[in-house]
Structure 1
């Protein structure tokens, strides 16, 4: 108990320091014993901490307007590299009330990262996640990734199946989910990789938190929406990858191709027998030696097939488009069907490289275009089913692996503003 009490006391002091330093941007030096879990000996006895307060405002189609503030705390090692990042934030949304979030990323080396996210709202929503990545095993020939999460999203939407579902069919529900995703990737030589993985999710569907919208089963029958009463997925996965990236974390040059086969097996506890096939192609094309202008593209095709009409694929396991990483002019999970075809294209333009509060960051603007459609299969593909989402992104990058972004996309149902970490693809 003494150890647990000591750790709790140190964490309380850490949060108090965050609250104090987060009121203004500054560079501070803090004794390492006051920063438990997010420092080690490489940070020295007096740890350099740069705090940067930032406002937050987002307007996504599902959640509506979210506003608030965060303070990013960048903890440096003795080589003046960012060893870890801590970002507490407080947001307000009329559907969920106040939401407190603590995000953290620890980078003991360029090859190993631990991330966590702890979030709780006054109403409905919560999100507890942890992610681990290590690509330095066996002299860089083996990469391990692990993700575990437990969350509830009371803003989830369902409009029906196929590409032409109208806004008038919009319904709301809470997606409550326990999930994990494990993978191991081996270097086969000549830029080829083999990935083996396993994905698990246990999903329950509850009433949503958005006033004025009907619950999903008020408008759609349970028989017509497989999985609306909850479902479980056990999905082993195999992928063959070809990559010419210049770096694994934030590439600026090269190409990437991946083919994935992922069956969900009823005998392992899955809701039904079905299969995902996915092909993804990505490329980075710099236009000058300094890589200030880089064209980045992604093309994806996903197909979901059930073994029989009796094995109906749960609606959240089908091929889905919409949200901050696919069609950025729409809310998450806006379009659902048996397959999708997606093209993302953006020009990442580095405006300047600026040292702010002793942190060197690349500030970018990225005009983009998203084009995608869901369909039963490629044989039923029609140009009229495609959604075209132009937009513009703003990014701040601290290498080797920190990206903050704001993406503004425009779809037929209005604009969407997404704020988050990491590139969309």
Structure 2
């Protein structure tokens, strides 16, 4: 759904706009509900040759497949944000092919630190070539969010592709452990982060497989004192690196991509290779630095119901004397962002940050069954995964030394051709971490 996103800050601060608690609760709650129903559906003799599993008679009597909306008790969690509870209503609009074309999902929620709140979401999929969404919400205390995106030319069938995005986000759950691959868990701190940015991306399609793209993203970032009752505030432990106050950067990023995947949203085969370089120039008091890196993704269908998905990324910061910590590379969390944060699903987002970062992921995506549910066909996937990664300061350092490793299991509900909801459970050296959200991690 996104092109090249500004994941630097979102990874370092432990909050991805694409994985905000609002979207995490939506996907995690819906997926949990689907998996519970899947257990009831998967009865001996239930599968139909060449078609989705049908609901048992008692569920047919309740007309689950034809409900105009889905009422869902809401539970969202991740290592940084804690637990959010609430009640969610999901309205689905499907076309003649039973493909989801629009999702409307308002909710009422509660977080123990930030009180009651409400959010609204609308996701629209007019075609594989054009998509848009608007997400917004607030809580009684501290947290606010708004995210809107429009993108077209996704299939690269015309000469140009482009997207525009506007984001405002204020989070009270951000974490900072210090800089470096050996940052200690005992040094964990909390801070409130506010950010606002506008992002424009324009891509020239030399062919269906090759694209050259330019991204412009002015961004404002404000680091405020933490509000956690359990953790010290960032400036108390890191008075230099974690100093409070606002700043901004102006990223100009050029990327070259070779992409043969059969789908941008639910790929089953092909590769995507990208190389990029960018700079935030010293305009006024803007943070000045450069970035460069590569990103590789491969999807191999080894059997009809089994796909081997792999990903590797290297992000470097060749220049920048004293860039702010929110501009550095980061590891942790459940999302891969080109030129930004990279996943390490046994740790919270932004667990390790430094000038340079390297990561690799491997997962087996196995389709267990297909369900005829909610006016569409949902595929339930099981995905064991392993990941490794590290951050380092000097370009001359060994990127493969002292790697952090995690392993885990993912549960996914897939409504082709656009939608994936997931719950991923990872285990690393600091214990279990649970994530949920929309879209594959990579």
TM range, normalised to the smaller chain? 0.7 to 0.9
User: Hey, what's the Cα distance between the residues in 1 that align with 2:301 and 2:123?
Assistant: 29
Going from structure 1 to structure 2, the CA distance change for 1:92 and 1:299 (only over 3 Å counts) comes to same
Going from structure 1 to structure 2, the CA distance change for 1:163 and 1:245 (only over 3 Å counts) comes to same
* 1:230 alignment partner, SS class: strand
Q: Does 1:86 align with 2:101?
A: no
Rg comparison, structure with higher value: 1
Q: What is the alpha-carbon root mean square deviation over aligned residues?
A: 2.3
The one of 266, 269, 274 equivalent to 1:250 is: 266
The one of 373, 394, 409 equivalent to 1:377 is: 394
User: Hey, what's the Cα distance between the residues in 2 that align with 1:358 and 1:172?
Assistant: 43
The one of 373, 378, 400 equivalent to 1:361 is: 378
Match of 1:296?
Answer: 309
TM-superposed CA distance for 1:140, in Å, is 3.0
Match of 1:155?
Answer: 173
Any stretches of 5+ residues in structure 1 without a counterpart? 1-21, 26-47
Listed one character per residue, the Cα deviations across residues 242-287 of structure 1 (whole Å, up to 9, x for unaligned) are 11111233221000100111100112x4623210112100000111
User: Hey, what's the Cα distance between the residues in 2 that align with 1:274 and 1:345?
Assistant: 31
Match of 2:127?
Answer: 109
User: Hey, what's the Cα distance between the residues in 2 that align with 1:121 and 1:386?
Assistant: 38
User: Hey, what's the Cα distance between the residues in 2 that align with 1:54 and 1:384?
Assistant: 45
TM-superposed CA distance for 1:380, in Å, is 2.2
Mapped contact 1:117–1:129 kept (Cα < 8 A):
yes
User: Hey, what's the Cα distance between the residues in 1 that align with 2:132 and 2:208?
Assistant: 29
Match of 1:60?
Answer: 78
Match of 2:325?
Answer: 315
Match of 1:407?
Answer: 424
Mapped contact 2:259–2:272 kept (Cα < 8 A):
yes
TM-superposed CA distance for 1:190, in Å, is 6.7
Q: Does 1:275 align with 2:275?
A: no
The one of 146, 150, 154 equivalent to 1:128 is: 146
Mapped contact 2:227–2:233 kept (Cα < 8 A):
no
* 1:396 alignment partner, SS class: strand
TM-superposed CA distance for 1:49, in Å, is 7.1
Q: Does 1:197 align with 2:218?
A: no
TM-superposed CA distance for 1:306, in Å, is 2.6
Mapped contact 2:265–2:439 kept (Cα < 8 A):
no
TM-superposed CA distance for 1:214, in Å, is 1.4
TM-score normalised by the chain length of structure 1: 0.82
* 1:320 alignment partner, SS class: strand
User: Hey, what's the Cα distance between the residues in 2 that align with 1:388 and 1:56?
Assistant: 31
Q: Does 1:241 align with 2:257?
A: yes
User: Hey, what's the Cα distance between the residues in 1 that align with 2:248 and 2:111?
Assistant: 30
TM-superposed CA distance for 1:75, in Å, is 1.1
User: Hey, what's the Cα distance between the residues in 2 that align with 1:152 and 1:59?
Assistant: 18
Listed one character per residue, the Cα deviations across residues 54-106 of structure 1 (whole Å, up to 9, x for unaligned) are 33333322112223342221112455432211112333221222232212111
User: Hey, what's the Cα distance between the residues in 2 that align with 1:384 and 1:144?
Assistant: 39
Match of 2:39?
Answer: none
Q: Does 1:344 align with 2:361?
A: yes
TM-superposed CA distance for 1:136, in Å, is 6.0
TM-superposed CA distance for 1:383, in Å, is 5.4
User: Hey, what's the Cα distance between the residues in 1 that align with 2:95 and 2:301?
Assistant: 31
Q: Tell which deviates more after alignment, 204-213 or 151-160.
A: 204-213
User: Hey, what's the Cα distance between the residues in 2 that align with 1:251 and 1:365?
Assistant: 16
Q: Does 1:178 align with 2:188?
A: no
User: Hey, what's the Cα distance between the residues in 1 that align with 2:100 and 2:145?
Assistant: 25
Mapped contact 1:63–1:95 kept (Cα < 8 A):
no
TM-superposed CA distance for 1:228, in Å, is 4.2
User: Hey, what's the Cα distance between the residues in 2 that align with 1:374 and 1:138?
Assistant: 34
User: Hey, what's the Cα distance between the residues in 1 that align with 2:154 and 2:358?
Assistant: 34
Mapped contact 1:234–1:270 kept (Cα < 8 A):
no
Any stretches of 5+ residues in structure 2 without a counterpart? 1-29, 35-65, 336-342
Match of 1:146?
Answer: 164
User: Hey, what's the Cα distance between the residues in 1 that align with 2:428 and 2:108?
Assistant: 29
Going from structure 1 to structure 2, the CA distance change for 1:123 and 1:146 (only over 3 Å counts) comes to same
User: Hey, what's the Cα distance between the residues in 2 that align with 1:68 and 1:283?
Assistant: 37
